[in-house]
Amino acid sequence: MTLTRRTVLGLGGLTLAGALAGCTGAAPRADGGESDDGAGDGDSDGDSNGDGDGGLPDNGTDSDAGGTRPEGTGGPGVTIVSVDDAPDLPVEPSVELTREAATADHPPQLRTTLTNTTDAPVQVGEGRAVHFQYVYDDMTQLLLLPSGEAWPAEPGCWRLTDGIAVTEEYQILEVSADEPSTRLVDLYATPGEDACLPVGEFRFETTISVVSETAEQQESATWGFSVLLE
């Protein structure tokens, strides 16, 4: 069950992107400048090597296939390299990789889970942020977005061509004592990057708050993980 409250409480390390969902604007770049139209400095297909394939290997036989790049994919392989210890809260967060690399059909994907460690329902907020939906990495080069939705991105490259906006409301998520709360999130590059999905290590972090029935903040903790793209 998801409740909402229009007043935004303190979200700690959470980064949300602005106003009404579906109304998009320029996403912030790490250097503080405005994003461009997503075409980057490469050619018209959005890849940076100018070979006209959008950064994709030819039928999975590119010389980069294998090794650290899964064969038949168009981007770096993703690995979860570190996960914070469970916070001292009645819910325990976790994350796992469900798709390790981008293909022509979909970006990399992770599953986030909140497990209730008590015998009674627990309400947590902010309901999207606790599952890393709309959360940037600490360098704002990557963004995790709810899976299954049509986001403005270059197919195969999975770099966003425009900024993403969300409603300014504080959502409360109830985690049952009998069943964990899970969400799938897809990994995108932010607008204006020269590459498609950049390589390197990136950390994602959010704040998990346990709230009462009146949505007053009671206790919270910061939790996160790091991924390596190579």
Q: Where are the domains of the chain?
A: 2-229
Q: How confident is the model over 65-81, as a mean pLDDT?
A: 65
pLDDT of residue 191: 92
Q: How confident is the model over 169-193, as a mean pLDDT?
A: 94
Cα(20)–Cα(42) distance, integer angstroms: 32
Judge contact between 74 and 54, C-beta under 8 A. yes
Cα(119)–Cα(115) distance, integer angstroms: 11
Chain mean position to CA 153 = 14
Judge contact between 90 and 58, C-beta under 8 A. no
Cα(101)–Cα(78) distance, integer angstroms: 6
Q: Please give the structure tokens belonging to residue 39.
A: 């075409």
pLDDT of residue 75: 72
73 pLDDT higher than 70: no
Judge contact between 4 and 172, C-beta under 8 A. yes
- What are the pLDDT digits (tens) for 19-58? 333 333 333 333 444 434 333 343 434 443 444 343 443 3
pTM score, whole prediction: 0.69
pLDDT-wise least confident of 92-96, 144-148, 208-212: 208-212
Closest CA to 94 of 67, 113, 68: 113
If pLDDT is split at 50, 70 and 90, which confidence band does 96 have?
very high
pLDDT of residue 164: 92
Q: Number of H helices and number of E strands within the chain?
A: 0, 11
Give the residues across from 72 on adjacent strands: none
Q: Please give the structure tokens belonging to residue 10.
A: 């303190």
- What are the pLDDT digits (tens) for 3-16? 443 333 333 333 33
Cα(120)–Cα(11) distance, integer angstroms: 25
pLDDT of residue 28: 38
